[in-house]
Amino acid sequence: MTAPITVISPSVALPAKQRIRQAFDQAATGYDAAADVQREMADRLADRLLQAGVDGEPAAILDAGCGTGYSARWLAQRWPRTELALLDFSPAMLALAWTQYPGARVICADIEALPFGDGYFGGYWSSLTWQWNDPRRCLAEAARVLEPGGWLAVATLGADNFPELRHAFAGADAYSHVLAMPPPEQLLAECRVAGWKVRVWERQPVRRHFPDARSALRSVKAVGAREVEQRRPTPLSRGAWQAINDRYEQLREAAGLPLTYDGVWLIATRP
């Protein structure tokens, strides 16, 4: 059965947005097999939400940037009587998410322009999606669609992701090979200025190890997290790849070559 996806065209179809959609559509079928870090980030977010002592039974919860639906299973088990809306920018991801939880409402839309009325939700969940967008717009939209006192649970990335790749690619070319993001403390400050009650704010590295540089790079590409701002018009030469590999090898640890995500978790309630 085909998933009943409601498609809402984004208000501004920016080229970067379309590249993001294409990257995640292409990654959808192999995403779950490679999304080990993504699952850890979501599991930690669930733990932090429970530790924050959020009470009550929301009438509706939004999973904003649901991907293949990993978090939807936990949300549905935790609040079985709550209406669950799954939203993502990738139709291919949404189709897989619907197979995980066919009772949910599935919407293909831009997280920066949510197609819901003001105060519709009692809970807003988003794991590893805000970093692909403008966090200020995401926060503003979350505030708009949440009812007063509604909870916000966000796992995202800080500004210091993949320092190992930055080291390895230094001098290889003039292109950026990691996604540029604002310092997460800026998001925390904006929450407080807007009157949100911040219950949890945590920033910790999440690390994985790989046998070689190509395996580390494949792990990033397999979850759609490829460079979307600037792409090289031609492939790197064999000599350039050897230099990249040699620089990466300088960082080798007993467990292998490290790759570090700058994890950030935020739990807050709307004023």
Sequence-separated (6 or more) residues with CB below 8 Å from residue 64: 87, 111, 114, 124, 125, 126, 129, 138, 142
* Whether the Cβ atoms of residue 112 and residue 129 lie closer than 8 Å to each other: no
- Confirm whether 101 is domain-assigned: yes
Give the pLDDT confidence score for residue 11 in this predicted structure: 47
Please state the pTM of the whole predicted model. 0.87
Domain count, the chain: 1
- Confirm whether 11 is domain-assigned: yes
- Confirm whether 212 is domain-assigned: no
Largest CA distance in the chain: 59
Give the pLDDT confidence score for residue 230 in this predicted structure: 47
Question: What does the pLDDT look like over 55-66, one tens digit per residue?
Answer: 789 999 999 999
Domain range spanning residue 194? 5-161+179-207+262-269
- Confirm whether 47 is domain-assigned: yes
Give the pLDDT confidence score for residue 87 in this predicted structure: 95
Instruction: For the chain, list residues with pLDDT below 70.
Output: 1-35, 171, 173-180, 222-235
Q: Which of 213, 34, 27 is nearest to 132 (CA)?
A: 27
For the chain, report the end-to-end CA distance as a whole number of angstroms: 41
- Confirm whether 154 is domain-assigned: yes
- Confirm whether 110 is domain-assigned: yes
For residue 27, the domain's CATH number is 3.40.50.150
Give the pLDDT confidence score for residue 7 in this predicted structure: 65
In degrees rounded to 5, what are phi and psi of residue 121? -105, 150
- Confirm whether 247 is domain-assigned: no
Task: Tell me the Ramachandran region of residue 3: left when phi exceeds 0, alpha when psi lies from -120 to 50, beta otherwise.
Answer: beta
Give the pLDDT confidence score for residue 20 in this predicted structure: 66
* Whether the Cβ atoms of residue 155 and residue 253 lie closer than 8 Å to each other: no
Rounded to whole angstroms, the Cα distance separating 268 from 152 reads: 5
Q: For the beta carbon of residue 64, count every other beta carbon within 10 angstroms.
A: 27
- Confirm whether 231 is domain-assigned: no
Question: What does the pLDDT look like over 30-60, one tens digit per residue?
Answer: 555 556 888 899 999 999 999 998 878 999 9
Give the pLDDT confidence score for residue 102 in this predicted structure: 74
